[in-house]
A and B are shown apart, each in its own frame.
Chain A
């Protein structure tokens, strides 16, 4: 399978790899996917509670090159955005930016899910949590 140049670039030089302290009240953690499916993404964001700006974002991903690139790109995009702006990022934006082929669209869906899961986890910690948005991440960590 041929990868787009942007996927290869992110794979070779992934941005913002690492972990934040998941116990920090200002850190939201999203963990989505499953090992049996061949993709697991962990996306973490440090969010300023006053400005609601995402000041830091880190990821770790188990998955194919497209999954790594999608999550790397997601960290780049959410940094500096407000929570609300980050929630408006759609998987189709990621597909377009990385020129993902149809069989790799699920990677972009997972990245969007990871953003939502991380923000939902942060909201829960901040007391804004709504039960409907409870994430697999929160459960997985329990």
Chain B
């Protein structure tokens, strides 16, 4: 139930890909023979399938190795191309590291970056955004939906503001595309990062949507070479991966309405089964603007990593960063104003296409059982039950 990290490849996607490993192995850039033509045709078909999912035209899709590369290409590509126009970029604090670290790199190169805060809901404040824009601003990069808490940003409003001010709008759409309706026209998005493996396609393939008119966005390439992808991203195309990506997007487009109903019902079932049986559990981020398959819950007095260990036959992830060398809990939860003590106790659930009601019930039971067991082990729970306000104690860090 960690479908934000990755998803299994849909068997229908695998079937679509297989011929392109063996009999149709041609290089899509080979113009001299039928093998190349078949590869090119397959790539163009996939390009159209992906474009259709997000309301774009096929020529606006640039294939990459994944969303991290797409984020890099969008941000660095705009920064370099429009350096004469300005050197200011606006993003926000709960972005994925692929955006944050790219912005940090640009800061070292002399660009200025504004990191907008988020409200308790997890959304940015649009007035903050308006105020942050200066004549030097060339790009706004705000994710569509967050990978930890599933909160959807007010994308269409951001798009409108960007257009008014003549600033390009990039959005990391990794968690949203294929899960909720994303339309680059309605949302006013100029650059959109997408990843195949988050929507039941293969790993190692992604795309960047690059708007061609109203306004036309130009990018400085990061990878130079044979001039593939209209010069924006050289390198032989991963034909089987792209075919799978296209097929996965087509399935998402055709099945989204139904799948959303199913996933949100499963998610609500999970939430109910857990939260009705445990006190002092808290949902992180607003549920009003939320991905249908996500929920992020803090279990007070139970450290997240020990909870994961107790339900080790279930794949979920924790906002507790005890596994990382920094020992810092999730920066996303911190940005929402979730106390560090509660951030350590959070678990992210990401329900996927192939999860069942039985699995949801099993996970809920295991979570409830393990939280109860660990609370019996927790000195904080004991103190809270005795009436001590744990948060007001004078803790001295050892």
14 A-B residue pairings within 8 Å (CB atoms): A36-B339, A36-B395, A38-B305, A60-B377, A60-B382, A61-B377, A61-B378, A62-B379, A63-B306, A65-B305, A65-B306, A103-B324, A103-B327, A140-B395
Which A residues between 96 and 139 are near B, CB-CB below 8 angstroms?
A: 103, 106, 109-110, 113, 136, 139
Which B-chain residue is minimally distant from A14 (CB atoms)?
B377
Q: Does B156 contact A (CB under 8 A)?
A: no
Per the bound structure, the CA–CA distance linking A64 and B377 in Å amounts to: 12
Q: Chain B interface: which of A39-47, A49-57, A73-81, A82-90?
A: A39-47
| B325 engages A62 (CB within 8 Å) | no
Once A35-B380, A38-B329, A103-B325 are accepted as A-B contacts, the answer to whether A63 and B303 lie under 8 Å apart by CB is: yes
Chain A nearest Cβ from B317, distance in angstroms: 12
> CA of A32 to CA of B303 in the docked complex: distance in angstroms?
15
* B379 in contact with A61 (CB, 8 Å): yes
A60 near B378 with CB under 8 A, answer yes
B116 within 8 A of A: no
Tell me whether A35 and B341 are in contact (CB under 8 A).
yes
Q: Which of B343-398 contact A (CB under 8 A)?
A: 344, 376-382, 390-391, 393-398
Chain A residues within an 8 Å CB radius of B320 = 38, 64
Residues in A neighbouring B377, C-beta threshold 8 A? 14, 17, 60-62, 68
Q: When chains A and B are docked, how far (Å) is the Cα of A115 from the Cα of B27?
A: 66
**B380 & A40 in contact (Cβ 8 Å cutoff):** yes
Which residues from chain A contact B398 at a C-beta distance below 8 Å? Answer: 32-34, 109-110, 113, 136
Given contacts A63-B306, A64-B303, A136-B396, contact A36 B341 (CB under 8 A): yes
Q: Which residues of chain B have a CB within 8 Å of any CB of chain A?
A: 301-303, 305-306, 309-310, 320, 322-325, 327, 329, 339-341, 344, 376-382, 390-391, 393-398
16 new A-B contacts at CB < 8 Å, known A103-B324, A140-B396 = A11-B309, A17-B377, A35-B391, A36-B339, A42-B382, A60-B379, A61-B377, A61-B379, A62-B301, A62-B378, A63-B322, A65-B305, A68-B377, A136-B396, A139-B396, A140-B394
The residue on B at minimum CB distance from A37 is B397
Task: Assess whether A94 is interfacial by the CB under 8 Å rule.
Answer: no
Q: With an 8 A cutoff between CB atoms, is A48 at the interface?
A: no
User: B300 — nearest CB in chain A belongs to which residue?
Assistant: A35
- Give the contacting residue for A139; candidates B302, B305, B394; CB below 8 A: B394
B382 to chain A, nearest CB (A): 6
Q: Which residues of B contact A63 (CB under 8 A)?
A: 303, 306, 322
CB-defined contacts of B397 to chain A, threshold 8 Å: 33-34, 36-37
**Contact surface of A with B, Cβ cutoff 8 Å:** 1, 3, 8, 11, 14, 17, 19, 31-42, 60-65, 67-68, 103, 106, 109-110, 113, 136, 139-140
Number of A-B pairs, beta carbon distance below 8 Å: 99
Q: Is the CB of A62 within 8 A of B380?
A: yes
Residue of B329, B381, B398 with most chain A CB atoms under a 10 A cut-off: B398
Listed from nearest, the 5 A-B pairs whose CB atoms lie closest are A35-B341, A34-B395, A42-B379, A36-B340, A136-B396
Contact A3 B303 (CB under 8 A): no
Contact of B302 among A1, A62, A106 (CB under 8 A): A62
The complex places the Cα of A106 from the Cα of B324 at a distance, in Å, of 13
A61 to B377, CA, bound (A): 6
A113 to B396, CA, bound (A): 12
> A64: which of B322, B381, B391, B394 is its contact (CB, 8 Å)?
B322
Contact across chains for A64 and B305 when beta carbons are under 8 A apart: yes
Instruction: Give Cα distance in the complex from A13 to B268, angstroms.
Output: 33
Q: Which residues of A contact B393 (CB under 8 A)?
A: 140
Nearest chain B CB to A19's CB is how many angstroms away?
7
Task: Kindly report which residue of chain A lies nearest to residue B305, judged by CB atoms.
Answer: A64
Across-interface contacts of A62 in B (CB, < 8 A): 301-303, 377-381
Shortest CB-to-CB span from A8 to chain B, Å, is 8
Nearest-CB distance from A35 to chain B (Å)? Answer: 4
A41 to chain B, nearest CB (A): 7
Looking at the assembled complex, report how far the CB atom of B386 sits from the nearest CB atom of chain A, in whole angstroms. 10
Contact of A38 among B322, B381, B382 (CB under 8 A): B322
A42, chain B: closest CB distance, angstroms: 4
**CB within 8 A of B376: which of A1, A17, A34, A36?**
A17
How far does the alpha carbon of A34 sit from the alpha carbon of B327 in the complex, in Å? 13
Q: Are A35's CB and B306's CB within 8 A?
A: no
- What is the bound-complex CA distance between A83 and B341, given in angstroms? 33
Nearest CB of chain A from residue B148's CB, rounded to whole Å: 17
Task: Give min CB distance, B225 to chain A, whole Å.
Answer: 39
Are A35 and B344 also in contact (CB < 8 A) when A17-B377, A64-B303 are?
A: yes
When chains A and B are docked, how far (Å) is the Cα of A36 from the Cα of B324?
15
